[in-house]
């Protein structure tokens, strides 16, 4: 068995070597020649899995250690007998932590009162549910827009996008990237948002029209962007214009990365019958255990301080602003933070 793996997938080296040959390369540098005689790929979003990469190869399994799958051509894989697994939900806790560290941080910095406000969650899957739980715990009113869930489960608990945008003080994006969501946050979207409201995108860059966002920024109270069009070649002008800018690291928690790699390894193990790895999980490390928060009775400033203590998001913002051209380097060398949670 031969496996080609993105060298930036954490906790992976040494795990599969007893069972076959493992070749590590940077994700964007993996070529069709590299995968020609490979049986499986373990990747991140930086490797485009399409005909150009896979034609003529032996690949029968792609395991991506990410929730996103927009880098995979499913039509091609399905027609060529290639099984695809992603790590759905692995980074949900990390993204939730990012959202609230950013929200309370930028609100405190700009003097925006958010106590008792309304948070609109666009996309209420694994990540959106975590955001919803924390928002309700903190006493926010919550509006949810998720047409696929509303169709499957019934309309109760969901609202149309237009209503959400008009009635939310905070709008946070947690949709997958597909043809129904590409450029969702466009000129019409921002026109419906209330003046002074806060926009957060920690889903995929291409769900927003960056030109429309630039035009809308004077109207918004604050803007937080973690995911960008054309990564890693981001619009430096937009980086300078928003209130918090980070290099697609919202989900980069220690627990999220453990789970992402675990799910990828388990997919390989089950496909090839490696029973010893069916329940694989990377070893824990000291001082990385998730932190249980008790925020009951705390005021806005105290809550902001707790979130910043556990994740000082402005440090990531500063580093990215200093070197926006080092997008991939900042990601690959990122020091994973431990997650927070509430009961």
What is the per-residue pLDDT across 34-68, written as a single tens digit (0 to 9) for each? 999 999 999 999 999 999 999 999 999 999 999 88
Sequence-distant (≥ 6) Cβ neighbours of residue 19 within 8 angstroms? 1, 272, 274, 277
Does residue 264 lie within any of the structural domains?
no
pLDDT at 286: 77
Q: Report how far apart, in Å, the C-alpha atoms of 21 and of each of 26, 223, 265, 271 are.
A: 17, 46, 14, 16
Percent of the chain clearing pLDDT 90 (strictly above)? 97
Residue 339 scores a pLDDT above 90:
yes
Does residue 287 lie within any of the structural domains?
no
pLDDT at 183: 97
Summarised one tens digit per residue, pLDDT across range 123-133 is: 999 999 999 99
Closest CA to 254 of 336, 341, 340: 336
Residues 155 and 53 in one domain: no
pLDDT at 68: 86
The total number of structural domains that make up the chain: 2
Residues 82 and 142 in one domain: no
Residues 240 and 131 in one domain: yes
Residues 166 and 63 in one domain: no
Q: Mean pLDDT over residues 4-24, rounded?
A: 97
pLDDT at 287: 78
Residues 121 and 201 in one domain: yes
User: Could you confirm whether 231 is annotated as catalytic?
Assistant: yes
pLDDT at 335: 93
From 204, 266, 331, 337, active-site residue: 204
Summarised one tens digit per residue, pLDDT across range 280-322 is: 999 988 778 899 999 999 999 999 999 999 999 999 999 999 9
Does residue 79 lie within any of the structural domains?
yes
**Of the residues 86, 111, 129, which one is the last residue of a structural domain?**
86
Residues 197 and 127 in one domain: yes
**Of the residues 67, 86, 105, which one is the last residue of a structural domain?**
86
Mean pLDDT score across all residues of the chain: 96
Residue 342 scores a pLDDT above 80:
yes
From 80, 231, 300, 328, active-site residue: 231
Residues 28 and 119 in one domain: no
Residues 152 and 19 in one domain: no
Domain that includes residue 124, residue range: 92-251+295-341
Integer Cα distance of 84 and 78 in angstroms: 9
**Of the residues 55, 86, 117, which one is the last residue of a structural domain?**
86
pLDDT at 87: 95
> Domain containing 204 — which CATH number?
3.40.50.720
Integer Cα distance of 12 and 27 in angstroms: 14
- Note if the pTM is more than 0.85: yes
Q: Mean pLDDT over residues 261-277, rounded?
A: 98
User: Could you confirm whether 248 is annotated as catalytic?
Assistant: yes
Q: Mean pLDDT over residues 242-265, rounded?
A: 97
Closest CA to 141 of 165, 160, 167: 167
User: Could you confirm whether 204 is annotated as catalytic?
Assistant: yes
Does residue 315 lie within any of the structural domains?
yes
From 71, 149, 174, 248, active-site residue: 248
> Using 50, 70 and 90 to split pLDDT, how confident is the model at 101?
very high
Q: Report how far apart, in Å, the C-alpha atoms of 331 and of each of 9, 113, 194, 212 are.
A: 11, 32, 33, 27
């Amino acid at each position: 068995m031969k496996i080609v793996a993105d060298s930036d997938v954490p906790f992976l080296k040494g795990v599969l070597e007893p069972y076959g040959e493992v070749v590590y390369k940077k994700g964007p540098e993996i070529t069709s020649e590299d995968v020609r005689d490979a049986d499986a790929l373990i990747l991140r979003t930086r490797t485009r899995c399409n005909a150009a990469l896979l034609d003529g190869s032996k690949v029968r399994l792609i395991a991506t250690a990410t929730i996103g799958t927009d880098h995979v051509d499913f039509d091609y894989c399905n027609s060529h007998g290639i099984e695809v697994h992603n790590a759905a939900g692995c980074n949900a806790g990390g993204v939730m932590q990012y959202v609230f560290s950013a929200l309370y941080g930028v609100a405190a910095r700009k003097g925006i009162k958010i106590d008792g406000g309304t948070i609109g969650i666009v996309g209420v899957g694994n990540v959106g549910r975590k955001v919803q739980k924390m928002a309700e715990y903190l006493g926010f009113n919550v509006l949810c827009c998720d047409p696929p869930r509303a169709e499957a489960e019934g309309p109760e608990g969901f609202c149309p996008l237009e209503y959400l945008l008009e009635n939310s003080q905070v709008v946070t994006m947690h949709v997958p990237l597909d043809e129904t969501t590409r450029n969702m946050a466009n000129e019409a979207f921002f026109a419906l948002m209330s003046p002074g409201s806060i926009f957060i995108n920690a889903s995929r860059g291409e769900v927003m029209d960056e030109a429309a966002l630039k035009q809308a920024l004077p109207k918004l109270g604050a803007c937080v962007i973690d995911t960008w069009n054309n990564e890693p070649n981001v619009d430096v002008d937009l980086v300078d214009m928003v209130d918090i800018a980070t290099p697609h690291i919202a989900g980069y928690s220690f627990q999220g990365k453990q789970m992402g790699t675990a799910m990828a390894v388990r997919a390989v193990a089950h496909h090839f019958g490696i029973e010893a790895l069916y329940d694989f999980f990377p070893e824990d490390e000291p001082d990385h255990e998730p932190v249980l928060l008790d925020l009951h009775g705390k005021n806005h400033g105290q809550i902001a301080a707790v979130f910043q203590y556990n994740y000082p998001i402005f440090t990531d913002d500063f580093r990215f602003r200093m070197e926006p051209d080092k997008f991939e380097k900042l990601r690959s060398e990122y020091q994973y933070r431990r997650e927070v949670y509430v009961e």
